[in-house]
Amino acid sequence: MLVGVGGIAARAGYLGFVQRGDLSALAADQRVHTVDLPGARGLVYDRQGRELAGNRPMARVEVSPNLIADPRATAARLAPAVGMPAAQVTAKISGTGTWAMLAPQISHSAGARIRAMKLTGVYVTDTTTRVQTLGPATAQLMGLVDADGRAHGGIEGQYDKDLHGVAGARVEARDPRQDTLKVLTQTDPTPGRDVVSTLDMPIQNRAYEVAAETARTYDAKSATIVVTTVDGRVLAMATAPSFDPNKRSTYTPELALNRATAASFEPGSTFKVVTIAGAIQTKEVTPRTSFYLPVSLDIDKELDRTLSDAHERGPETATVADILKRSSNVGTVLIARDRLGPERVNNWIYRFGFGRPTGIGLSEESGSILPTSKWSGGSIYNIPIGQGDAVTQMQLTQAYGAIANGGVLTTPRIVQSIGGEAVPPGPTRRVMTRSTATALTDMLRGVVSADGTGSEANIPGYEVAGKTGTAQKIDPKTGLYSDTAFSASFVGFVPANRPQIVVSVVVDEPGGAAHQGGVVAAPAFEKIAKFCLWRLGIPKD
């Protein structure tokens, strides 16, 4: 069944045939009937005026069984139009009741056919149903409008007060064949206001295609985001697997979750940039500062807990730039432990916007950042490398956007105008100096180089800056980190020397042998970013 708009109004009170007050003078064969005049729900458009969510004309059929003299004969005529067996229709329209719902939602043409039959005791009301142009590609982002006209989640829910129309009503005097004799009163409906989003329909569609392809390939759950660097306009936000909002039977709560804003995860190595940004900004290190990296670090000698890098290596000396390029756990922790310390590490986490809503204008989680007061002795070994804190993909995208935007954090936005009135951009704030952002960008270029962990994100003709992330997930049964369940991610921006867009990809629990961000998520980034560069007409370097 299609998801309805306008809903089933409480018509029982209106369809009871009344004769009171100034209506008592009506002839005995006249009936008072109230006709709903739905207030059309506002439409939702992409940034260039393409319709993302609209209204399809439908109809509903109600009956007054006490006025139907021959239920079987009437049912025989109604059954084909309402798509029900004649016996079922007969049961619904038989009896002495004054009101019953026969069909809450049928096609507009079927409703017109029934109306033309002029059957006594049968009433047809025009309604609408909400239709999303891209279907599964925008299902979680757009949200739903149910058969009663209630909005749930996404843009539909967040901006319901603007989109929702106010219904009117017309009270008519009709004869037994439902011909209108006189309009007694009428209150005109008020349509809802249209919402123009920041989305770009082709980019949204491509982002979903890549998310769906990645989810199928790795038997996983995937989400993608595309945001402009300067003003934080969300050009795309997609989740897969998805459901078809135009076919309610495909809906499940799990599939309806917008993983980009409402699902938190441990970010893994994409978080390392926070520690390194803090150390550079406070002049504790430069990109060329060298560190001796042992094979492992002792976390707890008594429990034999150690920290090592994901790749095998011997003892070596590496610069800060190399530490980020190779995604060294040991190197990042040495910077955090020996140069910044717990308080400053956590301050930089908050400074990048983690631990609070991004302000995008959608329902979102804040993530979970552990206060320094609750750190254990081992926290300095795991939080700087993206374990122990939980973030949302939107927060992570916003943080990398600050690097791309010369150190200025912008508020992401999903709506650019409502009812023809521009929605002003949210606040911005400087996180770091432009020189620090430039240094980080140069280092993030190295991640995407041939010998970096994110080489699969490389796009010929363009400089790409970004970071891979691979994080173990907590096993809910043991409460310990799993050796088989991971989150893989890549977040980056292009072109690195004049950033225009930030693209992030998160893949939850990829199956099979491949689970690293550089293998699973980086190729998806490349496909989406490459399309965006073409679509937006951004020239090669």
Query: If pLDDT is split at 50, 70 and 90, which confidence band does 122 have?
Result: very high
From 229, 320, 232, select the one nearest 278 (Cα to Cα): 320
pLDDT of residue 73: 96
Q: Examine residue 315 and say whether the peptide bond preceding it is cis (omega within 30 degrees of 0).
A: no
Cβ-Cβ contacts under 8 Å for 460 (sequence gap 6 or more): none
The model's pLDDT over 28-62, given as tens digits with 9 standing for 90+, comes to: 445 788 887 888 999 999 999 999 999 999 999 99
Average of per-residue pLDDT across 407-413: 98
For tokens 């996180």, what's the residue?
431
The model's pLDDT over 498-527, given as tens digits with 9 standing for 90+, comes to: 999 999 999 999 998 899 999 999 999 999
From 4, 36, 249, select the one nearest 105 (Cα to Cα): 4
Average of per-residue pLDDT across 337-353: 97
pLDDT of residue 32: 85
CATH class of 4-197: alpha beta
Cα→Cα distances 285→278, 320, 423, Å: 9, 8, 41
pTM: 0.89
The model's pLDDT over 471-481, given as tens digits with 9 standing for 90+, comes to: 999 998 998 99
pLDDT of residue 17: 38
Report the alpha-carbon distance of residue 529 to residue 489 in Å, rounded.
15
Percent of the chain clearing pLDDT 90 (strictly above): 82
Report the alpha-carbon distance of residue 429 to residue 262 in Å, rounded.
24
Maximal CA-CA distance, the chain:
101
Tokens (6 digits) for 159: 């901006």
Report the alpha-carbon distance of residue 226 to residue 354 in Å, rounded.
19
Looking at residue 310, what DSSP letter applies? S
pLDDT of residue 302: 59
pLDDT of residue 360: 96
Report the alpha-carbon distance of residue 330 to residue 334 in Å, rounded.
6
- CATH placement of domain 201-535: 3.40.710.10
**pLDDT of 303 strictly over 80:** no
**pLDDT of 8 strictly over 50:** no
**pLDDT of 7 strictly over 60:** no
318 beta partners:
291
Looking at residue 448, what DSSP letter applies? T
63 beta partners:
100, 122
Average of per-residue pLDDT across 84-110: 94
Domain coordinates in residue numbering, the chain: 4-197, 201-535
**pLDDT of 10 strictly over 50:** no
One-letter amino acid at 314 equals G
Cα→Cα distances 98→12, 104, 172, Å: 8, 17, 17
**pLDDT of 212 strictly over 90:** yes
